Protein backbone atom coordinates (compact mmCIF):
# COMPACT_ATOMS: atom_id res chain seq x y z
CA UNK A 1 0.00 0.00 0.00
CA UNK A 2 1.45 3.32 -1.09
CA UNK A 3 1.17 6.78 0.41
CA UNK A 4 0.91 10.11 -1.35
CA UNK A 5 3.88 12.43 -0.87
CA UNK A 6 2.04 14.65 1.60
CA UNK A 7 1.10 11.58 3.67
CA UNK A 8 4.73 10.46 3.67
CA UNK A 9 5.88 13.87 4.83
CA UNK A 10 3.33 13.92 7.64
CA UNK A 11 4.75 10.56 8.74
CA UNK A 12 8.30 11.89 8.45
CA UNK A 13 7.43 14.86 10.64
CA UNK A 14 6.04 12.55 13.36
CA UNK A 15 9.38 10.71 13.37
CA UNK A 16 11.50 13.84 13.55
CA UNK A 17 12.57 14.09 9.90
CA UNK A 18 12.53 17.75 8.76
CA UNK A 19 10.15 18.57 5.88
CA UNK A 20 9.20 21.84 4.13
CA UNK A 21 6.39 23.95 5.56
CA UNK A 22 3.10 23.42 3.72
CA UNK A 23 0.02 21.22 3.39
CA UNK A 24 -2.26 19.38 0.99
CA UNK A 25 -5.26 21.11 -0.61
CA UNK A 26 -7.96 20.06 -3.06
CA UNK A 27 -8.93 23.39 -4.66
CA UNK A 28 -7.22 26.54 -6.02
CA UNK A 29 -8.65 28.82 -3.33
CA UNK A 30 -7.06 26.84 -0.51
CA UNK A 31 -3.81 26.74 -2.47
CA UNK A 32 -3.78 30.55 -2.42
CA UNK A 33 -4.39 30.55 1.36
CA UNK A 34 -1.48 28.19 2.02
CA UNK A 35 0.78 30.25 -0.25
CA UNK A 36 -0.18 33.37 1.72
CA UNK A 37 0.68 31.60 4.99
CA UNK A 38 4.07 30.62 3.58
CA UNK A 39 4.63 34.23 2.62
CA UNK A 40 7.02 33.79 -0.29
CA UNK A 41 7.85 31.62 -3.31
CA UNK A 42 6.28 28.18 -3.05
CA UNK A 43 5.83 24.90 -4.91
CA UNK A 44 2.57 23.35 -6.10
CA UNK A 45 3.06 19.60 -6.49
CA UNK A 46 0.59 17.13 -7.99
CA UNK A 47 -0.24 14.24 -5.67
CA UNK A 48 -0.34 11.06 -7.72
CA UNK A 49 1.29 7.68 -7.17
CA UNK A 50 3.67 8.14 -10.07
CA UNK A 51 7.19 9.32 -10.72
CA UNK A 52 8.37 11.91 -13.24
CA UNK A 53 5.71 14.43 -12.16
CA UNK A 54 8.03 17.32 -12.96
CA UNK A 55 8.58 16.19 -16.53
CA UNK A 56 4.82 15.84 -16.95
CA UNK A 57 4.28 19.44 -15.83
CA UNK A 58 2.79 18.42 -12.49
CA UNK A 59 5.10 20.63 -10.39
CA UNK A 60 4.82 24.43 -10.55
CA UNK A 61 6.78 27.23 -8.85
CA UNK A 62 4.51 30.23 -8.17
CA UNK A 63 5.77 33.33 -6.37
CA UNK A 64 2.50 34.79 -5.09
CA UNK A 65 -0.84 33.50 -3.75
CA UNK A 66 -2.51 34.52 -7.03
CA UNK A 67 0.02 32.54 -9.02
CA UNK A 68 -0.40 29.59 -6.65
CA UNK A 69 -4.15 29.64 -7.25
CA UNK A 70 -3.65 29.59 -11.01
CA UNK A 71 -1.01 26.86 -10.76
CA UNK A 72 -3.22 24.68 -8.59
CA UNK A 73 -6.14 25.11 -10.99
CA UNK A 74 -3.92 23.97 -13.87
CA UNK A 75 -2.43 20.99 -12.04
CA UNK A 76 -5.76 19.80 -10.63
CA UNK A 77 -7.07 19.54 -14.20
CA UNK A 78 -4.20 17.26 -15.24
CA UNK A 79 -3.90 13.50 -15.69
CA UNK A 80 -0.38 12.16 -15.17
CA UNK A 81 0.48 8.72 -16.54
CA UNK A 82 -3.21 7.87 -16.57
CA UNK A 83 -3.78 9.10 -13.01
CA UNK A 84 -6.10 12.07 -12.38
CA UNK A 85 -4.74 14.72 -10.01
CA UNK A 86 -7.26 15.15 -7.20
CA UNK A 87 -5.12 17.08 -4.73
CA UNK A 88 -1.91 19.11 -4.61
CA UNK A 89 0.75 19.79 -2.00
CA UNK A 90 1.55 23.47 -1.55
CA UNK A 91 4.79 24.04 0.34
CA UNK A 92 7.65 26.50 0.70
CA UNK A 93 10.24 26.65 -2.06
CA UNK A 94 13.56 25.56 -0.62
CA UNK A 95 16.94 27.10 -1.21
CA UNK A 96 18.82 24.08 -2.53
CA UNK A 97 22.57 23.89 -2.09
CA UNK A 98 22.88 20.16 -2.74
CA UNK A 99 20.61 17.20 -3.53
CA UNK A 100 21.26 13.71 -2.15
CA UNK A 101 19.42 10.40 -2.18
CA UNK A 102 18.51 8.16 0.77
CA UNK A 103 16.23 5.15 1.16
CA UNK A 104 15.67 1.92 3.06
CA UNK A 105 13.96 -1.00 1.36
CA UNK A 106 13.76 -4.78 1.68
CA UNK A 107 16.23 -7.09 -0.03
CA UNK A 108 14.23 -10.29 -0.36
CA UNK A 109 17.17 -12.45 -1.40
CA UNK A 110 19.25 -11.34 1.61
CA UNK A 111 16.20 -11.37 3.93
CA UNK A 112 17.36 -8.04 5.33
CA UNK A 113 16.61 -4.36 5.04
CA UNK A 114 19.12 -2.49 2.89
CA UNK A 115 20.17 1.15 3.06
CA UNK A 116 20.64 2.74 -0.36
CA UNK A 117 22.19 6.21 -0.55
CA UNK A 118 23.97 8.51 -2.94
CA UNK A 119 25.60 11.93 -2.88
CA UNK A 120 23.88 12.51 -6.24
CA UNK A 121 20.12 12.77 -5.74
CA UNK A 122 17.28 14.38 -7.63
CA UNK A 123 15.73 13.31 -10.90
CA UNK A 124 16.92 10.17 -12.71
CA UNK A 125 18.63 8.65 -9.66
CA UNK A 126 18.27 5.25 -11.35
CA UNK A 127 20.52 6.49 -14.16
CA UNK A 128 23.45 7.19 -11.81
CA UNK A 129 26.54 4.97 -12.30
CA UNK A 130 26.78 2.05 -9.89
CA UNK A 131 29.91 3.47 -8.28
CA UNK A 132 27.88 6.48 -7.06
CA UNK A 133 25.38 4.26 -5.23
CA UNK A 134 25.99 3.05 -1.66
CA UNK A 135 24.24 -0.16 -0.57
CA UNK A 136 24.57 -1.42 3.00
CA UNK A 137 22.52 -4.21 4.56
CA UNK A 138 21.10 -3.77 8.05
CA UNK A 139 21.52 -6.73 10.39
CA UNK A 140 18.06 -7.29 11.92
CA UNK A 141 19.59 -8.44 15.21
CA UNK A 142 21.79 -5.35 15.56
CA UNK A 143 19.25 -2.92 14.14
CA UNK A 144 20.20 0.66 13.34
CA UNK A 145 23.06 2.05 15.43
CA UNK A 146 24.74 5.45 15.08
CA UNK A 147 27.96 3.84 13.81
CA UNK A 148 26.02 2.38 10.86
CA UNK A 149 24.56 5.79 10.00
CA UNK A 150 27.95 7.49 10.34
CA UNK A 151 29.55 4.94 7.99
CA UNK A 152 26.91 5.58 5.30
CA UNK A 153 27.28 9.34 5.66
CA UNK A 154 31.07 9.17 5.40
CA UNK A 155 30.72 7.19 2.18
CA UNK A 156 28.45 9.95 0.87
CA UNK A 157 31.31 12.41 1.41
CA UNK A 158 29.69 14.36 4.25
CA UNK A 159 31.72 15.30 7.35
CA UNK A 160 30.25 13.56 10.40
CA UNK A 161 30.82 16.49 12.76
CA UNK A 162 29.34 19.08 10.40
CA UNK A 163 25.78 20.39 10.98
CA UNK A 164 24.69 18.40 7.91
CA UNK A 165 26.38 15.21 9.11
CA UNK A 166 24.90 15.34 12.59
CA UNK A 167 21.40 15.88 11.20
CA UNK A 168 21.81 13.06 8.66
CA UNK A 169 22.71 10.57 11.42
CA UNK A 170 19.32 11.28 13.01
CA UNK A 171 17.52 11.01 9.67
CA UNK A 172 19.05 7.62 8.87
CA UNK A 173 18.06 6.28 12.29
CA UNK A 174 14.53 7.66 11.97
CA UNK A 175 14.07 6.19 8.50
CA UNK A 176 14.84 2.77 9.93
CA UNK A 177 12.50 3.41 12.83
CA UNK A 178 9.68 4.11 10.36
CA UNK A 179 10.46 0.89 8.47
CA UNK A 180 10.41 -1.18 11.63
CA UNK A 181 7.42 0.35 13.39
CA UNK A 182 5.23 0.81 10.31
CA UNK A 183 6.14 -2.37 8.37
CA UNK A 184 7.38 -0.32 5.44
CA UNK A 185 8.68 -2.03 2.31
CA UNK A 186 10.19 1.25 1.12
CA UNK A 187 10.98 4.61 2.70
CA UNK A 188 12.66 6.98 0.25
CA UNK A 189 13.81 10.60 0.24
CA UNK A 190 14.71 11.96 -3.18
CA UNK A 191 16.00 14.53 -2.94
CA UNK A 192 17.34 15.00 0.54
CA UNK A 193 18.32 18.67 0.41
CA UNK A 194 21.06 20.75 2.00
CA UNK A 195 19.58 24.20 2.53
CA UNK A 196 22.15 26.41 4.29
CA UNK A 197 22.96 24.43 7.46
CA UNK A 198 19.65 22.48 7.38
CA UNK A 199 18.91 19.02 5.96
CA UNK A 200 15.35 18.67 4.67
CA UNK A 201 13.35 15.88 3.01
CA UNK A 202 12.13 17.63 -0.13
CA UNK A 203 10.18 14.56 -1.22
CA UNK A 204 8.77 11.44 0.45
CA UNK A 205 7.94 8.02 -0.90
CA UNK A 206 6.54 5.42 1.50
CA UNK A 207 5.15 1.95 0.74
CA UNK A 208 3.65 -0.18 3.51
CA UNK A 209 3.58 -3.99 3.32
CA UNK A 210 0.08 -4.97 2.12
CA UNK A 211 -0.03 -7.85 4.60
CA UNK A 212 0.56 -5.43 7.49
CA UNK A 213 -2.11 -2.92 6.49
CA UNK A 214 -4.67 -4.44 8.89
CA UNK A 215 -2.59 -3.33 11.88
CA UNK A 216 -1.70 0.12 10.53
CA UNK A 217 -5.05 1.74 11.28
CA UNK A 218 -3.35 5.06 12.06
CA UNK A 219 -1.91 5.39 8.54
CA UNK A 220 -3.89 6.98 5.66
CA UNK A 221 -3.07 4.26 3.12
CA UNK A 222 -4.04 4.62 -0.53
CA UNK A 223 -5.60 1.79 -2.53
CA UNK A 224 -3.92 2.25 -5.91
CA UNK A 225 -5.50 -0.78 -7.59
CA UNK A 226 -7.37 -0.32 -10.86
CA UNK A 227 -11.00 -1.51 -10.95
CA UNK A 228 -9.88 -4.72 -12.68
CA UNK A 229 -7.10 -5.31 -10.12
CA UNK A 230 -9.58 -4.75 -7.30
CA UNK A 231 -12.08 -7.20 -8.82
CA UNK A 232 -9.35 -9.85 -9.20
CA UNK A 233 -8.19 -9.27 -5.62
CA UNK A 234 -11.76 -9.86 -4.41
CA UNK A 235 -11.60 -13.27 -6.11
CA UNK A 236 -8.25 -13.99 -4.47
CA UNK A 237 -6.42 -13.90 -7.81
CA UNK A 238 -3.02 -12.39 -8.62
CA UNK A 239 -3.55 -9.78 -11.33
CA UNK A 240 -1.56 -6.88 -12.76
CA UNK A 241 -2.57 -4.64 -15.65
CA UNK A 242 -0.02 -4.14 -18.43
CA UNK A 243 -0.11 -2.06 -21.60
CA UNK A 244 -0.30 -4.70 -24.35
CA UNK A 245 -3.25 -6.06 -26.34
CA UNK A 246 -3.36 -9.83 -25.60
CA UNK A 247 -5.29 -10.75 -22.44
CA UNK A 248 -3.59 -13.60 -20.56
CA UNK A 249 -4.77 -16.16 -18.03
CA UNK A 250 -2.76 -19.12 -16.69
CA UNK A 251 -2.80 -21.30 -13.59
CA UNK A 252 0.30 -20.61 -11.52
CA UNK A 253 2.72 -17.74 -11.10
CA UNK A 254 5.55 -19.49 -12.92
CA UNK A 255 3.50 -20.59 -15.91
CA UNK A 256 1.90 -17.14 -16.14
CA UNK A 257 5.33 -15.47 -16.23
CA UNK A 258 6.43 -18.05 -18.80
CA UNK A 259 3.37 -17.24 -20.89
CA UNK A 260 4.13 -13.51 -20.85
CA UNK A 261 7.78 -14.14 -21.73
CA UNK A 262 6.81 -16.45 -24.60
CA UNK A 263 4.38 -13.94 -26.05
CA UNK A 264 7.00 -11.20 -25.93
CA UNK A 265 9.67 -13.47 -27.41
CA UNK A 266 7.40 -14.11 -30.41
CA UNK A 267 6.51 -10.43 -30.85
CA UNK A 268 3.28 -10.19 -28.84
CA UNK A 269 2.38 -7.73 -26.08
CA UNK A 270 0.50 -8.98 -22.97
CA UNK A 271 -2.37 -6.87 -21.66
CA UNK A 272 -2.12 -8.30 -18.16
CA UNK A 273 -0.79 -10.88 -15.74
CA UNK A 274 -3.52 -13.14 -14.33
CA UNK A 275 -2.65 -16.17 -12.23
CA UNK A 276 -5.76 -18.20 -11.49
CA UNK A 277 -3.74 -20.56 -9.31
CA UNK A 278 -4.43 -24.19 -8.68
CA UNK A 279 -7.96 -25.34 -7.96
CA UNK A 280 -9.85 -22.27 -9.22
CA UNK A 281 -13.33 -23.58 -9.97
CA UNK A 282 -15.81 -23.03 -12.76
CA UNK A 283 -17.55 -19.96 -11.29
CA UNK A 284 -14.35 -18.12 -10.32
CA UNK A 285 -12.81 -18.87 -13.73
CA UNK A 286 -15.89 -17.40 -15.44
CA UNK A 287 -15.59 -14.24 -13.35
CA UNK A 288 -11.88 -14.03 -14.23
CA UNK A 289 -12.74 -14.24 -17.93
CA UNK A 290 -15.15 -11.32 -17.51
CA UNK A 291 -12.36 -9.29 -15.91
CA UNK A 292 -10.16 -10.00 -18.95
CA UNK A 293 -12.89 -9.04 -21.41
CA UNK A 294 -13.35 -5.79 -19.47
CA UNK A 295 -9.79 -4.85 -20.44
CA UNK A 296 -10.93 -4.57 -24.10
CA UNK A 297 -8.08 -6.71 -25.48
CA UNK A 298 -7.63 -7.60 -29.14
CA UNK A 299 -7.38 -11.30 -28.26
CA UNK A 300 -7.18 -13.74 -25.34
CA UNK A 301 -4.55 -16.38 -24.60
CA UNK A 302 -5.41 -19.00 -21.96
CA UNK A 303 -2.62 -21.35 -20.89
CA UNK A 304 -3.77 -24.16 -18.57
CA UNK A 305 -1.59 -27.02 -17.41
CA UNK A 306 -4.08 -28.81 -15.20
CA UNK A 307 -2.96 -30.51 -12.03
CA UNK A 308 -5.26 -29.42 -9.25
CA UNK A 309 -7.03 -27.27 -11.84
CA UNK A 310 -9.51 -29.38 -13.82
CA UNK A 311 -9.57 -28.76 -17.55
CA UNK A 312 -13.32 -29.47 -17.75
CA UNK A 313 -14.00 -26.74 -15.15
CA UNK A 314 -12.04 -24.27 -17.26
CA UNK A 315 -13.85 -25.35 -20.43
CA UNK A 316 -17.27 -25.11 -18.77
CA UNK A 317 -16.45 -21.58 -17.61
CA UNK A 318 -15.74 -20.67 -21.23
CA UNK A 319 -18.99 -22.29 -22.31
CA UNK A 320 -20.91 -20.33 -19.66
CA UNK A 321 -19.47 -16.99 -20.79
CA UNK A 322 -19.90 -17.89 -24.47
CA UNK A 323 -23.59 -18.62 -23.84
CA UNK A 324 -24.09 -15.49 -21.74
CA UNK A 325 -22.48 -13.18 -24.32
CA UNK A 326 -23.63 -15.00 -27.43
CA UNK A 327 -20.01 -15.62 -28.41
CA UNK A 328 -16.67 -14.15 -27.45
CA UNK A 329 -16.11 -10.62 -28.83
CA UNK A 330 -12.40 -11.28 -29.48
CA UNK A 331 -10.38 -14.26 -30.78
CA UNK A 332 -9.56 -16.83 -28.08
CA UNK A 333 -6.62 -19.26 -28.16
CA UNK A 334 -6.35 -21.96 -25.50
CA UNK A 335 -3.62 -24.38 -24.57
CA UNK A 336 -5.34 -27.01 -22.40
CA UNK A 337 -3.56 -30.07 -21.03
CA UNK A 338 -3.74 -32.06 -17.78
CA UNK A 339 -6.51 -33.31 -15.51
CA UNK A 340 -9.69 -34.15 -17.46
CA UNK A 341 -8.21 -32.66 -20.62
CA UNK A 342 -10.21 -34.80 -23.08
CA UNK A 343 -13.50 -33.84 -21.44
CA UNK A 344 -12.43 -30.19 -21.42
CA UNK A 345 -11.44 -30.25 -25.09
CA UNK A 346 -14.78 -31.77 -26.09
CA UNK A 347 -16.61 -28.97 -24.26
CA UNK A 348 -14.49 -26.34 -26.01
CA UNK A 349 -15.01 -28.02 -29.38
CA UNK A 350 -18.76 -27.72 -28.88
CA UNK A 351 -18.42 -23.92 -28.88
CA UNK A 352 -15.97 -23.83 -31.77
CA UNK A 353 -12.65 -23.63 -29.91
CA UNK A 354 -9.79 -26.03 -30.64
CA UNK A 355 -7.27 -26.46 -27.82
CA UNK A 356 -3.51 -26.58 -28.37
CA UNK A 357 -1.06 -29.07 -26.85
CA UNK A 358 1.94 -26.73 -26.66
CA UNK A 359 2.29 -23.20 -25.32
CA UNK A 360 4.62 -22.08 -28.13
CA UNK A 361 2.16 -23.12 -30.85
CA UNK A 362 -0.70 -21.40 -29.06
CA UNK A 363 1.36 -18.24 -28.56
CA UNK A 364 2.22 -18.03 -32.27
CA UNK A 365 -1.44 -18.49 -33.18
CA UNK A 366 -2.78 -15.80 -30.84
CA UNK A 367 -0.21 -13.34 -32.15
CA UNK A 368 -1.28 -14.08 -35.74
CA UNK A 369 -4.93 -13.48 -34.83
CA UNK A 370 -4.06 -10.29 -32.93
CA UNK A 371 -2.21 -8.84 -35.91
Q: Where in the chain is the domain with CATH 3.30.470.20?
A: 98-215
342 is catalytic: no
188 is catalytic: yes
Q: Where in the chain is the domain with CATH 3.30.1490.20?
A: 21-92
Which class does domain 21-92 fall in?
A: alpha beta
- Check whether domain 98-215 has CATH 3.40.50.1370, yes or no: no
- Check whether domain 227-370 has CATH 3.40.50.261, yes or no: yes
Tens of pLDDT, residue by residue over 219-276, are 877 776 777 888 888 888 889 989 899 999 998 889 999 999 999 999 999 999 999 8
| Residue % of the chain over a pLDDT of 90 | 73
Mean pLDDT, residues 318-322: 91
Tens of pLDDT, residue by residue over 121-166, are 887 777 788 889 999 999 999 999 999 999 999 999 999 999 999 9
Nearest-angstrom CA–CA distance, 17 and 29: 29
Q: Where in the chain is the domain with CATH 3.40.50.261?
A: 227-370
The single residue of 10, 67, 101, 185 carrying the catalytic annotation is 101
Nearest-angstrom CA–CA distance, 49 and 5: 8
The single residue of 10, 185, 188, 229 carrying the catalytic annotation is 188
Q: At what angle do helices 341-350 and 311-325 cross, to 10 degrees?
A: 10
Tens of pLDDT, residue by residue over 180-209, are 999 999 999 999 999 999 999 999 999 999
Q: Please tell me the predicted confidence (pLDDT) of residue 218.
A: 82
Nearest-angstrom CA–CA distance, 175 and 150: 14
Closest CA to 34 of 3, 67, 58: 67
Nearest-angstrom CA–CA distance, 76 and 83: 11
Closest CA to 362 of 251, 240, 259, 253: 259
Q: Does residue 88 sit in helix, strand or coil?
A: strand
Amino acid sequence: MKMFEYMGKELFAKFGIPTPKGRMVTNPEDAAKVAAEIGGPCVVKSQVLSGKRGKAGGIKFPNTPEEAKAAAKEVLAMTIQGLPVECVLVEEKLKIDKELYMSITVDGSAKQAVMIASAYGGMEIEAQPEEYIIKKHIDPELGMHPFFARDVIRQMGVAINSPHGKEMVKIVQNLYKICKEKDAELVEINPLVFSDDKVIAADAKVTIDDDAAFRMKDLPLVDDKSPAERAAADLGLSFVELDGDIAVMANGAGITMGTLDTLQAFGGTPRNFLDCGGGTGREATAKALKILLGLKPKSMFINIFGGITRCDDVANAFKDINTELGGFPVPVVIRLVGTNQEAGREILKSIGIEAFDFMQDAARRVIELTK
